[in-house]
């Protein structure tokens, strides 16, 4: 098993500890606290620098976006620090994940996450990127210098990248982009601007993942925040099932089944972008059975499962701390055999598949 650089592991671990100290927002609908999980920092000033002229491009070498798996097949991935990744791999019974996710704030460099897969050539990074969408700053162009730098870094990376921008926007716990802080119209406009910057910079290897949370948190459906088919490559879904919310998670307002149907209507592959059991809730296999059963019921739509392997604000999601659940996951991984993919290739053309 490959061991990655532990200097980065130490930095990311320290980063998460700082985030945990920021405080917890009470949650509903099967999610978890916000600031502790994300390590997103509040942006306080616009980055300085020259804004590239329209039509300029970043460094060459960008491959295609991540290929979409064939029906019935799934990328199996994890969001994790590099320090806890080996323990996750062992507990899950896998050699490597297809997707390795990490979190950055709206003034951080995407290279923080991209570097984590340097030694994993078949693994695609997923950058969960919390950008400040308040006040019209993005649409005004005030952040363009910073955004172009990130887009060019992605293009120069030269491999498929998942870019999960401002997730769980339909919930109320993210003050820089969530419901109650940014209107759906302003969210959509800012998202589209970021997408346009990435296209202009030649970052065609980035797949944009729009990722609401399961559950209804206001009178608005999650679809109100949908940026539009042109601007979204994957629909991600975040959910944290427990014994007392499984029915709601599956079939409630903006539940898994509803969001899967929405994705199918828009011809978008689905990624379960965050999921895990949550301690101190009991260690049980029900969460794992629910997730894999749901994926099996939607073979033409659900194409990736990405486990959330972090401890946050007294809510532990580390797989190694759920021996019953980990045993169930190993069994499910074995049962699904060749249906689970651990290599992310680049799509050769629109609609291209992998496996």
Active site residue 274: yes
HSE (CB half, 13 Å, CA atoms) of 189?
A: 14
Is the distance from CB of 3 to CB of 116 less than 8 angstroms?
Answer: no
Is the distance from CB of 8 to CB of 82 less than 8 angstroms?
Answer: yes
What is the four-CA torsion angle of 14, 198, 262, 169, rounded to 10 degrees? 40
Q: What are phi and psi of 336, to 5 degrees?
A: -85, -15
* CA nearest to 169, candidates 312, 330, 303, 31: 31
Q: Which residue is associated with the tokens 């990248």?
A: 161
Beta strands in the chain (DSSP E): 68-69, 74-79, 99-105, 124-130, 161-165, 206-210, 234-238, 270-274, 302-308, 311-312, 315-316, 340-341, 353-354
For the purposes of burial, counting CB atoms within 10 Å of the CB of 219, is it exposed (0-12), middle (13-18) or buried (19 or more)? exposed
β 124-130/161-165 pair status: parallel
Q: At what angle do helices 286-297 and 323-336 cross, to 10 degrees?
A: 30
Helices (H), 141-285: 144-157, 184-200, 246-251, 256-265
Is the distance from CB of 104 to CB of 352 less than 8 angstroms?
Answer: no
Q: Which helix (H) or strand (E) holds 23?
A: none
Active site residue 95: no
CA distance 80 to 94: 14
Cα→Cα distances 47→50, 144, 149, Å: 10, 8, 10
Q: Which of 89, 95, 196, 274 is catalytic?
A: 274
CA distance 308 to 274: 5
Give the catalytic positions in this structure: 168, 274
């Amino acid at each position: 098993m490959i061991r990655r650089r532990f200097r980065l592991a130490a930095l990311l671990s320290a980063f998460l500890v700082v985030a945990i100290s920021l405080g917890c927002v009470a949650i509903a609908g099967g999610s978890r606290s916000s600031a502790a999980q994300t390590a997103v920092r509040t942006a306080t000033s616009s980055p300085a620098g020259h804004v590239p002229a329209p039509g300029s491009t970043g460094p060459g070498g960008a491959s295609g976006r991540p290929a979409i798996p064939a029906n019935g097949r799934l990328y199996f991935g994890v969001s994790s620090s590099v320090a806890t990744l080996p323990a996750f791999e062992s507990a899950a019974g896998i050699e490597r994940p297809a997707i390795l996710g990490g979190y950055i704030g709206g003034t951080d460099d995407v290279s923080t996450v991209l570097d984590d897969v340097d030694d994993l050539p078949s693994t695609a990074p997923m950058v969960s990127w919390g950008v400040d969408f308040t006040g019209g700053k993005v649409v005004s162009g005030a952040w363009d210098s910073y955004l172009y730098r990130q887009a060019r870094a992605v293009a120069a990376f030269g491999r498929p990248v998942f870019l999960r921008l401002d997730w769980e926007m339909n919930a109320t716990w993210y003050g820089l982009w969530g419901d109650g802080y940014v209107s759906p119209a302003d969210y959509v406009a800012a998202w589209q601007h970021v997408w346009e910057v990435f296209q202009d910079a030649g970052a065609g290897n980035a797949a944009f993942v729009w990722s609401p949370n399961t559950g209804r948190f206001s009178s608005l459906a999650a679809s109100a925040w949908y940026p539009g088919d042109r601007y979204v490559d994957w629909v991600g879904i975040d959910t944290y099932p427990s014994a007392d919310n499984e029915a709601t998670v599956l079939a409630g307002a903006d539940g898994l089944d509803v969001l899967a149907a929405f994705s199918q209507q828009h011809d978008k592959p689905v990624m379960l972008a965050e999921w895990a059991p949550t301690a101190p809730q009991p260690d049980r296999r029900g969460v794992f059975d629910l997730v894999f059963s749901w994926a099996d019921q939607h073979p033409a739509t659900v194409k990736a499962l990405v486990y959330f392997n972090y401890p946050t604000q007294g809510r532990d999601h580390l797989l190694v701390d759920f021996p019953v659940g980990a045993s169930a996951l190993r069994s499910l991984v074995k049962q699904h055999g060749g249906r689970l993919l651990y290599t992310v290739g680049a799509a050769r053309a629109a609609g291209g598949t992998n496996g």
